[in-house]
């Protein structure tokens, strides 16, 4: 099947290239025909004027021999006109033709062609024709000098007549090629639009349907390949979602069991020593971390569209997070500074994901501050959480700061909010903003 599609693609490309080649070949043939017609006409013109010049020279010489007193001498009658004349010496020739060639360059008893300027395709060349002969040791010359303006008109009229059939044939061929390419472009455009509509329908309905049958055979294979690829991708994505749902359910079950048993254990062991109480608290913190991370991963594994967009009161979310994470700072020398001027500051976003992000940030800040302060600032545009740890013991900085901040980053991308982290020697400053 792949070979068939390749063959069809090559055929389509070859078809397009062939059309371009034919068009350029046609233009080349037209130019060649035009050049050939112009050169042919001018050569025929030179041959024709050469024969005329020889005949004129013979007639003029007969008239001179019949009445030499009239046509020879200082006051002789001119034989010919401005373009064609008969003279009885080379000196007279030089008078009439200032740029005539040297006497030695003129061959007697034949027409000499002197090319003064080569013409273009649609303009005639500027030429001189000189015919020389000798009789009774007297040289005679006849010359022809063409009028390029007049000859240009004749040449253009000739080319126009010769080019009319060629132009008509070319116009017909070009029109056929244009119509052919237009039909091909329309067919391909129609096929592409059908495939786009099919893809849009699947994107909106989220249900895979069979691709449409199109007239272009190669496109059918392309649509079939896309359909198979999308189905494979959908199956893999569904498997990942199913795995995330099942695994999160299992993890939640175990976390709930651990949390319940930890509460029972804490109730039973009320009279624990400080060291034992510290170990129990670490277990409680680990269970809470597992709970938060499981909820966050489950939310991120769902569909890309946000489930619900509503007004989220930022101060309420922060207060709730501080209350849920009070276990992290009940026994620590940490001061929490709250900076906001009003309590009704709200963002339009998904509340569950924003709560998960704030929980992770506050919990990470509390975990990494043994002695110091945490500044929380809330405005209409941003939320800033800045922890300052004054304790020399900074081993706990590694606890929870890896996957927690990575989850926050993914959540911010999902919510289309800006997320910035600034590292300091004694802490970290995290900024969430809507702009």
pLDDT band at 64 (very low <50, low <70, confident <90, very high): confident
pLDDT tens per residue across span 365-404: 888 888 889 999 999 999 999 998 887 655 544 444 456 6
Structural domain containing residue 31: 2-169
Within 10 angstroms of residue 162's Cβ, the number of other Cβ atoms is 17
pLDDT tens per residue across span 275-302: 776 777 777 777 776 776 677 667 666 6
pLDDT given at position 359: 86
pLDDT given at position 430: 92
pLDDT given at position 431: 92
Q: Say how far apart CA 365 and CA 374 lie, in whole Å.
A: 7
pLDDT given at position 219: 60
The answer to whether 79 and 61 are in contact (CB under 8 A) is: no
Lowest mean pLDDT among 4-13, 122-131, 183-192, 253-262: 4-13
pLDDT tens per residue across span 411-432: 888 888 899 999 888 889 999 9
pLDDT band at 329 (very low <50, low <70, confident <90, very high): low
Long-range contacts of 212-215 (CB under 8 A, 24+ apart): 214/190, 215/187, 215/191
Query: Does 24 have pLDDT greater than 50?
Result: yes
pLDDT given at position 433: 92
Give the tokens for residue 295: 């909820």
Q: Within a domain: residue 102? A: yes
Q: Within a domain: residue 329? A: yes
- Residue 206's region, left for phi above 0, alpha for psi from -120 to 50, else beta, is left
Q: What is the largest CA-CA distance in the chain?
A: 159
Question: Mean pLDDT over all residues of the chain?
Answer: 77
Query: Does 3 have pLDDT greater than 50?
Result: no
Task: Provide the domain count of the chain.
Answer: 2
Q: Say how far apart CA 391 and CA 365 lie, in whole Å.
A: 14
Q: Within a domain: residue 379? A: yes
pLDDT band at 310 (very low <50, low <70, confident <90, very high): confident
Domain boundary at 151, 169, 187, which? 169
Q: Within a domain: residue 175? A: no
Query: Does 36 have pLDDT greater than 90?
Result: no
pLDDT band at 5 (very low <50, low <70, confident <90, very high): very low
Domain boundary at 169, 186, 207, which? 169
- Between 134 and 326, the more confident residue is 134
Domain boundary at 110, 134, 169, which? 169
pLDDT band at 177 (very low <50, low <70, confident <90, very high): confident
Percent of the chain with pLDDT over 90: 8
Q: Say how far apart CA 332 and CA 387 lie, in whole Å.
A: 14
**CATH number, domain containing residue 391:** 3.30.565.10
pLDDT given at position 432: 92
Assessment of whether the complete model's pTM goes beyond 0.75: no
Which SS3 state, helix, strand or coil, does residue 116 take? strand
Q: Within a domain: residue 189? A: no
Query: Does 17 have pLDDT greater than 90?
Result: no
Give the tokens for residue 270: 């009320």
Q: Within a domain: residue 353? A: yes
Give the tokens for residue 296: 């966050």
Q: Within a domain: residue 216? A: no
Q: Which of 184, 192, 193 is nearest to 222 (CA)?
A: 192
Q: Within a domain: residue 423? A: yes
- Chain centroid, CA 84 distance in Å: 66
Question: DSSP letter at 99?
Answer: T
Q: Say how far apart CA 37 and CA 158 lie, in whole Å.
A: 9
């Amino acid at each position: 099947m792949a070979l068939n599609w390749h063959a069809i693609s090559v055929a389509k490309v070859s078809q397009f290239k062939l059309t371009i080649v034919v068009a350029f070949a046609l233009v080349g043939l037209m130019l060649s025909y035009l050049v050939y017609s112009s050169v042919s006409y001018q050569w025929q013109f030179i041959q024709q004027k050469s024969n005329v010049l020889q005949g004129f020279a013979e007639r003029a010489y007969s008239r001179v021999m019949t009445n030499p007193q009239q046509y020879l001498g200082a006051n002789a009658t001119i034989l010919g006109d401005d373009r064609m004349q008969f003279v009885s010496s080379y000196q007279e020739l030089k008078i009439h033709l200032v740029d005539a060639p040297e006497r030695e360059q003129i061959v007697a008893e034949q027409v000499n062609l002197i090319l003064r300027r080569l013409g273009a395709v649609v303009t005639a060349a500027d030429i001189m024709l000189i015919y020389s002969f000798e009789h009774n040791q007297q040289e005679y010359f006849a010359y022809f000098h063409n009028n390029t303006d007049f000859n240009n008109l004749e040449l253009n009229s000739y080319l126009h007549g010769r080019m009319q059939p060629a132009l008509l044939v070319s116009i017909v061929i070009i029109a056929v090629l244009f119509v052919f390419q237009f039909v091909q472009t329309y067919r391909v455009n129609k096929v592409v639009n059908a495939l786009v509509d099919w893809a849009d329908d699947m994107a909106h309905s989220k249900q895979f349907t069979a691709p449409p049958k199109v007239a272009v055979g190669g496109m059918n294979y392309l649509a079939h390949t896309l359909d198979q690829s999308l189905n494979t991708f959908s199956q893999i994505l569904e498997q990942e979602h199913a795995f995330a749902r099942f695994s999160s359910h299992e993890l939640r079950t175990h976390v709930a069991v651990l949390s319940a048993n930890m509460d029972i254990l804490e109730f039973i062991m009320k009279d624990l020593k400080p060291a034992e109480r510290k170990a129990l608290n670490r277990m409680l913190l680990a269970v809470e971390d597992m709970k938060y991370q499981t909820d966050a991963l489950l939310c991120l594994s769902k569909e890309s569209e946000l489930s619900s967009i509503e007004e989220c009161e930022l101060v309420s979310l922060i207060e709730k997070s501080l209350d849920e994470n009070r276990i992290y700072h009940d026994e620590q020398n940490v001061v929490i500074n709250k900076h906001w001027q009003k309590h009704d500051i709200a963002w339009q976003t998904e509340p569950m994901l924003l709560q998960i992000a704030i929980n992770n940030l506050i919990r990470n800040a509390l975990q990494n501050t043994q002695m110091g302060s945490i500044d929380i600032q809330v405005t209409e545009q941003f939320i800033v959480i800045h922890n300052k740890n004054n304790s020399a013991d900074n081993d706990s900085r590694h606890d929870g700061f890896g996957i927690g901040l990575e989850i926050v980053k993914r959540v911010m991308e999902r919510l289309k909010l800006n997320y910035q982290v600034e590292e300091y020697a004694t802490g970290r400053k995290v900024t969430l903003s809507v702009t």
